[in-house]
Structure 1
């Protein structure tokens, strides 16, 4: 294969020949063969650390290295059992940390794979979507407005194609593309028949043959590929690191103080050194960032199941504090299945039955069924079919559409009358068209019609138009009425305008249709090429009727919006629809409430920034707006201190998605550019999925806080136990190996299980947390001190009880050792929720935690009763009465927290906060 850089100077046939491809595209076998030859269509990344290197890295901590050194010294001094136990616990801790970090890495890789962009290709004559990394030289790719170009390619067909190459060349204006061969001396920047990886389609559509992939593309020399997800430290992890360092410094100071006291009280220097290091290891939450990353990763995977794909982990934090959601209407709040419900034809309003895209239904005037052979109905629906680019088809027993939903609704209505596009296109072929544009607000086609005069009173070359009622009516001078073409009087025009308003008041989108017979000397070719002005064709039209359609709200959205209101989140609708239509839908969904305002784009333009900011909190609906208006809405809310989520799907939405705190792109209708600019992608384009993601985001943050508080209380308890025991009784209540073991088994499985705690019923009945609020607040520190102090108190009760009975030091240490472990297991159940009773949540609704606690208990029993471990950990068996004392004291950790939750719940009820028990 020749140098990929010179295909621009070849005719299309030569390009096909050299790349070994036809207009049917590559075969699957050939594509697979080329994928092995050229590799995946990705830029090479920095080599990842192997699993072995990742495992070894777990032992680079200063404290861990000190422990390993201490074990060596112990061995040299003849304390082989101590040395073995220290090495064993260090090894297990390393394995646990490795597993956590490895799972975190896999969670990140899952994110990368889920957000891998797709490309539309032609293979074996059929269109199909594949991951863009599977593209190979010779593939035929289809591109359209909003797509990100997935590989370097030579254009073979194009229709008004323009690409934004600013990311490659710095050129700010879109570049007009062509399929024509260029002279061989054409500079790279002027090769207009080529498209390049990473650039975007600004306008039009086309087909191109891939000439280079991966590192061979023009972007191959640049660092990084646009749209990939990089693994970066999240603000949450940074916050945790600061917290860990603060705890670590405080702990080291306390440990050093207590260790020096121990030496002064006569304990051996080496024992106190080893003990001090062990306590420091136990008290400093080194594994916390890894556990948090796993928690975030697992949460993101749960979000995927709820149709919300978070592209970057920091966005999970943003979800928890979001208090404004600005949503598009069509497809997000509604079903995006436009259904024609009413027709206005021959001065009569007809009702159309049937919903969705199934072409089943009838036409009624009042309660009387109207014949589909009615000449006026046929004239209206014929224009709706012929002046239309959509299609409907049945697949897997479901009716699907191809093209614009509004056009598809017209097609479905016509199909209910027996008018099918596939048949009519053959019978009345389209000879030319004047395409729809947002400026013109109409579309016109020229068709050759040879119809029975009884069914349709026109023959020859006929222009059919459809579009906005005010535009169509403005171009009409006649009307098809009572079987004749009559003059459109001002009175009839006013009557039609009234019908438009009446339909709009019923939240219907109204499309007007018209037709006109053209002189035979008008050349369709000149019309298509722009040789005849549109105004000349689209004048003196005959008005045929109105079609009112509605995109019904999604059934689950109304509940989701109420959830948002309960959660202190304001929902705002932003749409290009008419103000009346938008307001009607918003009222039905519960977005537009009494005293709320609706604002149009033109009204927004007339407001100064200060005036708009003063009103923004009262505006719930924006109608007839453009994407640029979204930026003003975001800016106004941000200045008020709100955290804003914004949805979008088009190319022009990208700036707003980037400007929002949480940019949300549509996975189905969204363009590649909008997805790339977003923080999250909705795989089902459903507003309810945003609310589900907010719920998951809040839950993830709640779980992280809860297992941090769980760990904090354990570390505080251990330090307090030793500090008070040495100061008060000059006794070491726990050995170094026992402290290491507690740290290993209590900081291992339970926090992981707490990270998968499902959302409780109150997570969406709380106001969003303050964006300035850190992960660890005074509330968590107070809870950690409270529970930690309680565990210390339990241990001191055990200590005095054991001393009163003259127990040996081994028995005393075994009792405290076991008490701390069991107390922490009770504590794990406390932190499933900081508000709700474990009994209202259900004991077994978090099965991973039950398994984690049972596993930890079994491990502790092994240490107490298996002779080998008894020797290693200096433990002795406990009697039933001793177990009774241990369990009775340990259970107070759960009982006391239940009492706190109970009285806190009663206090909230008195203050009018509502129920806090989910049961």
Structure 2
């Protein structure tokens, strides 16, 4: 018995090692893994050319360009294509699918196929060629079925992934005069040559020698040398673990011991927080530091997700059960029948029957089909196992602009500081929006569109850009420095009202056409004006100016001081018509929506009130700053609207909600949302979001709408329900079979079923389950969030499993006493009767426990599952009576058997329905 147990453990150990090696459930989160790996000395052991990067860093700009065989205006398309053939696409290896031969081996090398192969070999050695052929056919069929199904799933996943791709702005030499572009991109941080133009290209198309333009929100697309930079701050936390952004420059004035400390190098996988730059691509794909580290990560086992842990726990439950029961079956049959070889084969067959051999294929098929179905609903799933969290989500945190509102911001007012309409303020705002090259938001576009519709604006030809001070989320403002003709430079700053006022010491008074000091009394009056605009649902942006010395050529944040407030521009973004119905639908399905925004509390409250939030109290960022983690956890659960938030505030709120036991989704598309997207159980972004937001998200929406999200949540729950069906049915059915086998082995003078017959029954049952991914789901089952709970599955298995054993034992009694199958001479009749009854009741259980309602009456399975059930039932009844029956050890059953069979099936359906009512009353469904 110990030898048999060791034999099984050997094959299971092979299986588990294989699954960890191949990572059946693929979840590539390299950025998170890099933090666990660290860098330091480990980097030197990787295939990464840090020496080349160091040389590039010490070169001046012309020398760096020459070393990469590029030129100051970038590469031509032809040069880039030639280099792409040499260096390959700008991708890391872990994204490539498995080769076909390796995938085929992966599909074969699981414990179930290994056990079947062992049975086939033993059968061949004992001259039982029929059994060997049938078992071999089963192995081939199961392997090919999984190979084909997984291949289709993987191809579908790749197609979905290709729908969402990040791009980079690349400077390519072309036959094009770009003087107009130079007027737009003037300044030392970006200069476009006469034969070059910025173009948007997929990141995978970049090659060494390319010049890329970087701005706030961009992912660094490759390992690069900075050529020009303006207030460029990069987050390197994914590579180094540094919490704060690092400023990067074009030149260095001293050597550095680590390439990560070198201020003119930026690396793939990091992202731009603020500022802008042009950079020279040095290394791409697997030759980057990110590529080298990802290769190391792919060789390291990762921590299973909650979903994987749940599936594995069920698998191990049944595997441990098989490891215990198979030796018991071997012992009982060996002692009672005296034929230890047959007993061993039967025990192996029982072990196979108790293990969920179709679980990997069913899970993958269900998830893949769910992902494809979600894609038709404009929801792209980046990670298949994210579907589980999608269905379990009970709190959704979302931004306001574009989700609650129409995302069609229009400039509604342009006034002076006291609320009087002013065209001068519009001209200043237009100059600021037109000449800035950082992260252009909807407000900038609204200003430009407003002027393009015919409103007065300065002539672009009379102005030229001197410099700019990019936006960041600490200052919440940005400035451009422009000059008209030979006049002194003018700094034009626009941003959040409070942040602009904090930098102002003067105010332009249109009534007196003069500038006067900004005192406390005037400040109170100004705040009244802006609050009145906010109460009308308008988002207010302040505009201020300052004349700069003519001799000054370099500008920084410290120049945003001693400003003169000139007025405001106010924007209207009305709520979507679908927002209120979507909020009601989400609430009905157990998902509470919370709004997290950086906008003012007055505007946010006004907009939220229009879509059904009522007069909910708004919690602001400054209030959160004074809260402890415990206080924030309590406040986050009570409030629905949060305003004036920084990225850190959003992240803290998400963590507080998760620590309160909620499954939290976060929906955002900006750079300020990236931290919260990573902190949430499920990050949701849109295909128009910035690169870092899309990289951090698990789900990508092709339309930024709560209605689309609500449909996606329901589809995610349907997918999860279908997975639970198979796991529940397999667990309960297998658990019941073991009792039947033990009873039959203890009291019968022959095997209750031949090993080959047991394997065929198991194969037919598993084939009937392949249609589960296509099954329908009761509305009541997806009305509320679904959580993965392995303990519920164990309870379900123990509760429903023995029900089938009752009728298995009844079949034993009927075959023994009614049909006289009570000796070895008539064992084939006994085995044929139990084979048919066991297969039909196993198949029936699919329909009985797939729903808490009455099967076939209140809830009917989808036609693919119904069809597979009928086909398998017909095969099961026909097989003992067919010419093939003799090969499997069957014999035709008398007609008088079938009324008894019908009674068994009806009795089983009645008992299961009764137990289902008791189970629902005690534990729910």
TM-score range, shorter chain: 0.7 to 0.9
What does residue range 324-473 of structure 1 map to in structure 2 within 5 Å? 324-341=395-412, 378-379=423-424, 381-389=426-434, 403-416=440-453, 418-419=454-455, 424-426=459-461, 439=475, 441=477, 443=479, 446=482, 448=484, 466-468=494-496
In the TM superposition, what whole-angstrom CA distance separates every residue of 1:183-235 from its partner, at most 9, and x where no partner exists? 99999567544433344334311122222223444556545489999987544
1:177 aligns with 2:241: no
Q: Structure 1 length as normaliser, TM-score?
A: 0.77
In the TM superposition, what whole-angstrom CA distance separates every residue of 1:506-534 from its partner, at most 9, and x where no partner exists? 32212355789x7xxx7566387469955
Deviates more, 1:135-144 or 1:22-31: 22-31
1:714 aligns with 2:733: yes
* Secondary structure of residue in 1 paired with 2:640: strand
Give the Cα separation in 2 of the matches to 1:463 and 1:211.
Answer: 36
* Secondary structure of residue in 1 paired with 2:780: coil
1:622 aligns with: 642
The structure 2 residue matched to 1:119, chosen from 148, 159, 168, is: 168
1:662 aligns with: 682
Give the Cα separation in 1 of the matches to 2:343 and 2:597.
Answer: 70
Is the CA contact (8 Å cut-off) linking 1:579 and 1:600 kept in structure 2? yes
Is the CA contact (8 Å cut-off) linking 1:160 and 1:203 kept in structure 2? yes
Deviation (angstroms), 1:388: 2.2
The structure where helix makes up a greater share of residues is 2
Is the CA contact (8 Å cut-off) linking 1:148 and 1:201 kept in structure 2? yes
1:863 aligns with: 879
In the TM superposition, what whole-angstrom CA distance separates every residue of 1:318-362 from its partner, at most 9, and x where no partner exists? 44443332222223433332123466689999xxxxxxxxxxxxx
The structure 2 residue matched to 1:786, chosen from 784, 791, 803, is: 803
1:33 aligns with: 82
* Secondary structure of residue in 2 paired with 1:205: strand
Deviation (angstroms), 1:705: 1.8
Give the Cα separation in 1 of the matches to 2:545 and 2:478.
Answer: 13
Give the Cα separation in 2 of the matches to 1:773 and 1:64.
Answer: 26
The structure 1 residue matched to 2:653, chosen from 630, 633, 647, is: 633
Is the CA contact (8 Å cut-off) linking 2:169 and 2:198 kept in structure 1? yes
Is the CA contact (8 Å cut-off) linking 2:391 and 2:785 kept in structure 1? no
Give the Cα separation in 1 of the matches to 2:289 and 2:821.
Answer: 81
Counterparts in 2 of 1:562 and 1:790: CA distance versus 1, 3 Å: farther
Counterparts in 2 of 1:787 and 1:118: CA distance versus 1, 3 Å: farther
Is the CA contact (8 Å cut-off) linking 1:864 and 1:876 kept in structure 2? yes
Deviates more, 1:689-698 or 1:167-176: 167-176
Counterparts in 2 of 1:273 and 1:606: CA distance versus 1, 3 Å: closer
Is the CA contact (8 Å cut-off) linking 1:299 and 1:756 kept in structure 2? no
Give the aligned CA root-mean-square deviation in angstroms.
4.9
Is the CA contact (8 Å cut-off) linking 2:545 and 2:566 kept in structure 1? yes
Is the CA contact (8 Å cut-off) linking 2:465 and 2:480 kept in structure 1? no
1:702 aligns with 2:717: no
The structure 1 residue matched to 2:600, chosen from 578, 586, 592, is: 578
The structure 2 residue matched to 1:561, chosen from 574, 583, 587, is: 583
2:22 aligns with: none
1:288 aligns with 2:359: yes
1:353 aligns with: none
Deviation (angstroms), 1:405: 0.5
1:357 aligns with: none
1:873 aligns with: 888
Give the Cα separation in 2 of the matches to 1:339 and 1:168.
Answer: 40
Is the CA contact (8 Å cut-off) linking 1:720 and 1:789 kept in structure 2? no
Is the CA contact (8 Å cut-off) linking 1:198 and 1:225 kept in structure 2? no
* Secondary structure of residue in 2 paired with 1:138: coil
The structure 2 residue matched to 1:207, chosen from 246, 259, 278, is: 278
Deviation (angstroms), 1:566: 2.6
Is the CA contact (8 Å cut-off) linking 1:121 and 1:130 kept in structure 2? yes
Is the CA contact (8 Å cut-off) linking 2:310 and 2:789 kept in structure 1? no
Is the CA contact (8 Å cut-off) linking 1:319 and 1:698 kept in structure 2? yes
Give the Cα separation in 1 of the matches to 2:557 and 2:492.
Answer: 19
Is the CA contact (8 Å cut-off) linking 2:417 and 2:566 kept in structure 1? no
1:502 aligns with 2:573: no
Give the Cα separation in 2 of the matches to 1:404 and 1:386.
Answer: 15
Counterparts in 2 of 1:409 and 1:247: CA distance versus 1, 3 Å: same
Deviation (angstroms), 1:740: 0.4
In the TM superposition, what whole-angstrom CA distance separates every residue of 1:618-667 from its partner, at most 9, and x where no partner exists? 11111112122234323433443333333455556544444443344554
Give the Cα separation in 2 of the matches to 1:559 and 1:145.
Answer: 35
Give the Cα separation in 1 of the matches to 2:100 and 2:373.
Answer: 26
Deviates more, 1:315-324 or 1:143-152: 315-324
Counterparts in 2 of 1:66 and 1:412: CA distance versus 1, 3 Å: closer
Give the Cα separation in 1 of the matches to 2:351 and 2:80.
Answer: 58
* Secondary structure of residue in 1 paired with 2:268: coil
Give the Cα separation in 1 of the matches to 2:599 and 2:96.
Answer: 50
* Secondary structure of residue in 2 paired with 1:755: helix
1:354 aligns with: none
Is the CA contact (8 Å cut-off) linking 1:55 and 1:98 kept in structure 2? yes
Give the Cα separation in 2 of the matches to 1:179 and 1:497.
Answer: 42
Is the CA contact (8 Å cut-off) linking 2:310 and 2:790 kept in structure 1? no
* Secondary structure of residue in 2 paired with 1:389: helix
In the TM superposition, what whole-angstrom CA distance separates every residue of 1:245-289 from its partner, at most 9, and x where no partner exists? 433444455454455444555474433332232222112224424
Deviation (angstroms), 1:50: 5.2
In the TM superposition, what whole-angstrom CA distance separates every residue of 1:408-467 from its partner, at most 9, and x where no partner exists? 223333444x1376x8423666677676665374757656499xxxxxxxx999886655
Deviation (angstroms), 1:848: 3.7
1:747 aligns with 2:766: yes
Is the CA contact (8 Å cut-off) linking 2:333 and 2:343 kept in structure 1? yes
Counterparts in 2 of 1:137 and 1:887: CA distance versus 1, 3 Å: farther
1:511 aligns with: 541
Counterparts in 2 of 1:71 and 1:547: CA distance versus 1, 3 Å: closer
Deviation (angstroms), 1:535: 4.6
Deviation (angstroms), 1:873: 1.7
1:823 aligns with: 841
Q: Structure 2 length as normaliser, TM-score?
A: 0.77
Structure 1 unaligned regions, length at least 5: 350-375, 393-400, 451-458
Give the Cα separation in 2 of the matches to 1:89 and 1:434.
Answer: 69
Counterparts in 2 of 1:391 and 1:776: CA distance versus 1, 3 Å: same
Deviation (angstroms), 1:792: 5.7
Give the Cα separation in 1 of the matches to 2:147 and 2:821.
Answer: 44
In the TM superposition, what whole-angstrom CA distance separates every residue of 1:146-177 from its partner, at most 9, and x where no partner exists? 43322222333332223345666777765543
Deviation (angstroms), 1:104: 6.8
The structure 1 residue matched to 2:343, chosen from 269, 272, 279, is: 272
Deviation (angstroms), 1:715: 2.1
Give the Cα separation in 2 of the matches to 1:510 and 1:344.
Answer: 10
Give the Cα separation in 1 of the matches to 2:857 and 2:242.
Answer: 64
